[in-house]
Amino acid sequence: MWLPIEPLGRLIEAGGTVLVLIAVVAMALFSLALERGLYWRFHHRRARRELIERWAMRRDHVSWSALTLRETWARELIARLRRPLPWLRLLVALCPLLGLLGTVTGMIQVFDSLALTQAGQARAMADGVARATLPTLTGMAVAVVGLLFVTRLEQVIRREDQRLHDRMARAVEARHA
């Protein structure tokens, strides 16, 4: 019987405990990304539709106070969409730092083991260096994927901000026509 725990154990053994921290950060990062996707699909679209309907039902659309209210409503809706961006950016920035920490701690272990054996075994040193660089590779890979998601989410938010104002204006035009 195949257990998924065994490969994970070997991976942790190969990369050290910092690799577990990177995995936890990656799970948090991708959980937030999944949450934003679900929020966009199920909640934001409905909230946007309700906001546009609420704006279209108003009688005043041209006064300073009406335009200020429209801007405030739009900002609140977009702010809810932006809310986890600072956390996502923090987690993305944390991944390479954790990878570097794993490399440094791994290299310290390599040098300690070389000092204890007092032998310059090239094979042992090469294996230790390979173990030490695994966290860096993992941290960078998670950061790149997370950065791609954050960049895409920022583009979606900017586009949504523009489209929201356009849709609100079109809703008023359609109501008056």
**Domain hosting residue 66, numbered range:** 5-176
| pLDDT in the model for residue 171 | 87
Is the pLDDT score of 33 beyond 80? yes
Nearest Cα residue to 112 out of 128, 100, 126, 99: 128
What's the confidence (pLDDT) of residue 164? 92
Task: Provide the number of structural domains found in the chain.
Answer: 1
Summarize the confidence of residues 37-55 as an average pLDDT: 93
> From the centroid of its chain, how far is CA 95?
11
pLDDT at residue 160 in the model: 93
The span from the CA of 125 to the CA of 122, in Å, is: 5
